[in-house]
C-alpha cells in the first residue's frame, strides 16, 4: 500500500503544474509559428489538449473518421 502513496503525490503534483506546463507549450508553439525550427502547430496542440482534455477526445474521434 505504501507503493501507491508516492504515485498519488506525483499525480497531484502534475495536476497542479499542468497549467504551467500547458502555458509553456503554448508559448513555445507561438514561437514555433515564427521560427521554422520549432514545430509550432504540434506544441500548440499539446498545450491546448493539456488545458482542455475533452478537445483531445474530439480530435481523436475526428481523425479516426479518416482511417
Q: Taking the CA atoms of the chain, what radius of gyration do you get in angstroms?
A: 16
The vertex-25 CA angle with 23 and 61, nearest 5°, equals 105
End-to-end CA distance of the chain: 43
Q: Give residue 2's pLDDT.
A: 53
> What pLDDT is attached to residue 67?
78
For position 40, what pLDDT does the model report? 85
At residue 14 the predicted structure's pLDDT band, cuts being 50, 70 and 90, is confident
Q: What is the pLDDT of residues 23-62, one digit of tens each?
A: 888 998 999 889 888 888 888 988 988 888 888 888 889 9
Hey, CA dihedral for 67, 41, 14, 6, is it positive or negative? Answer: positive
Domains of the chain, residue spans: 18-64
Amino acid at each position: 500500500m505504501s507503493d501507491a502513496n508516492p504515485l498519488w503525490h506525483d499525480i497531484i503534483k502534475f495536476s497542479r503544474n499542468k497549467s504551467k506546463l500547458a502555458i509553456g507549450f503554448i508559448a513555445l508553439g507561438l514561437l514555433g509559428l515564427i521560427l521554422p525550427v520549432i514545430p509550432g502547430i504540434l506544441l500548440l496542440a499539446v498545450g491546448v489538449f493539456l488545458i482542455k482534455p475533452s478537445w483531445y477526445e474530439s480530435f481523436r474521434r475526428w481523425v479516426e473518421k479518416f482511417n
